[in-house]
Amino acid sequence: MKLLMKLIDSTKKEIINAITIKDLERIRIECLGKRGYLNLKIKELNLLNNEKKKIVGSLLNKIKKDIQTELFLKKNNILKNLLDLDLKKDKIDVTLTGRRIINGNLHPITTTINFLNFFFEKLGFNCSNGPEIEDIYHNFDALNIDPNHPSRDMKNTFWFDCNRLLRTQTSSMQVRIMETKSLPIRYIIPGKVYRNDYDSTHTPMFHQIEGLIIDKNINFSQLKWILESCLIEFFDNNIELRFRSSYFPFTVPSIEIDIKGNQGKWLEILGGGMIHPKVLKNLNIDPLSYSGCAFGIGVERLTMLKYDIFDIRSFFKNDIRFLKQFK
């Protein structure tokens, strides 16, 4: 028994001097483990008579609880010291100047769309949006686009099946608005459109803003004034533009507007014209009582000209260095 008490005293000293959790675990196994000396002593109780067994058993249980308590307290103390060290390493000086949060900025495409929306709202236009997945009727048939027109070809258009496709133009919203809105109509429709094309001036997805006016006595001069005023304000009167005749199945007469870039090259940025009488008839609007005009503005090309950007693909590369230029 004297040898056991010496071992207990030695164990308590080791617990006091332990530095790591690993040291404590070693001490626990030596003393209280399956083959620890205290457990071996408890197993020897069967060799004693009943009277001694009670006395020695009670003493061994008390020693075991004391050792467990010492181990528990020491473990908590080590863990607290480790936590204090971590807090000292990671402490924050609240008097230091805070990290500066860098504000983002609008994408140049978004800036252009916002400008055009605001300009046309000043002229009394309403703004609307529509589905990017269209059916063949709204995207082609109702707009007087011939069944053999090249835009219907698989090489030029993204088809889901024989009836559904990614819209190739925001002009499809002309039909939807004429179907649902009462006359007179004055709307702009910004949105994404999709065509199977990819080079420095074309991308498979790009943005258009469609304009639509239907009322009595709408004429070509009004359309020309609206478009010219919009471009002059957008470019701060610092542009050279030209109107030239063109062809669209859903407008007659039709025009396109080109703007001369800094390198002296003309770039088409929008098309428009007077709404074709067949389109009005398709939507049950009397072309003898009402007339209308429509136009579609290419947002990317307008932005390229304003900021002197040569490659349309730059807008969609997510290059922060490029986007930071437009704060």
Is the pLDDT at 310 greater than 90? The verdict is: no
At residue 232, what is the residue type?
I
Note the pLDDT tens digit of each residue in 24-52: 888 778 777 777 777 667 666 666 676 76
Which residues sit opposite 194 in a β-bridge? 205
Among 43, 62, 90, which residue terminates a domain?
A: 90
- What is the rounded average pLDDT of the residues 137-155? 82
Assess contact for 185 and 174: CB atoms under 8 A.
no
| Whole-number Å distance between alpha carbons of 19 and 24 | 8
Kindly report the CATH number assigned to the domain that includes residue 226.
3.30.930.10
Same domain, 169 and 29: no
Among 90, 122, 145, which residue terminates a domain?
A: 90
Same domain, 187 and 137: yes
Residue 224: the pLDDT is 94
In a domain, 100, yes or no: no
List the domain range (segments joined by +) for residue 182: 108-326
Same domain, 196 and 286: yes
In a domain, 95, yes or no: no
Same domain, 19 and 164: no
Give the residue carrying structure tokens 């809105």: 181
Same domain, 285 and 147: yes
Which are the contacts of 239, defined by CB distance < 8 A and separation ≥ 6?
Answer: 231, 232, 259, 260, 305
Q: Distance from CA of residue 259 to its chain's centroid? A: 33
Task: Tell me which residue of 307, 297, 212 sits closest to 257, measured CA to CA.
Answer: 297
In a domain, 103, yes or no: no
Work out how many domains the chain is built from and give that number. 2
Burial tier of 162 (Cβ tally within 10 Å: 0-12, 13-18, 19+): exposed
The model carries a pTM of: 0.65
Same domain, 143 and 253: yes
Same domain, 38 and 79: yes
Burial 130-149 (b: 16+ CB within 10 A, else e): beeebbbebbbebbbbeeee
In a domain, 151, yes or no: yes
Assess contact for 163 and 203: CB atoms under 8 A.
no
Same domain, 79 and 42: yes
- What is the rounded average pLDDT of the residues 173-187? 91
Give the residue carrying structure tokens 């528990």: 72
Among 36, 64, 90, which residue terminates a domain?
A: 90
Same domain, 112 and 61: no
Same domain, 26 and 120: no
Same domain, 80 and 9: yes
Task: Tell me which residue of 274, 261, 272 sits closest to 312, measured CA to CA.
Answer: 261
In a domain, 54, yes or no: yes
Give the residue carrying structure tokens 């990819």: 198
Task: Tell me which residue of 304, 232, 235 sits closest to 267, measured CA to CA.
Answer: 304
Residue 223: the pLDDT is 94
Assess contact for 262 and 308: CB atoms under 8 A.
yes
Based on its alpha-carbon atoms, the radius of gyration of the chain, rounded to whole angstroms, reads 41
In a domain, 60, yes or no: yes
Same domain, 85 and 112: no
| Whole-number Å distance between alpha carbons of 273 and 293 | 6
| Whole-number Å distance between alpha carbons of 327 and 104 | 8
Is the pLDDT at 53 greater than 70? The verdict is: no
| Whole-number Å distance between alpha carbons of 11 and 67 | 8
Note the pLDDT tens digit of each residue in 4-27: 676 677 777 787 888 888 888 887
In a domain, 167, yes or no: yes
- What is the rounded average pLDDT of the residues 179-203? 87
- What is the rounded average pLDDT of the residues 207-227? 94
Is the pLDDT at 178 greater than 80? The verdict is: yes
In a domain, 7, yes or no: yes
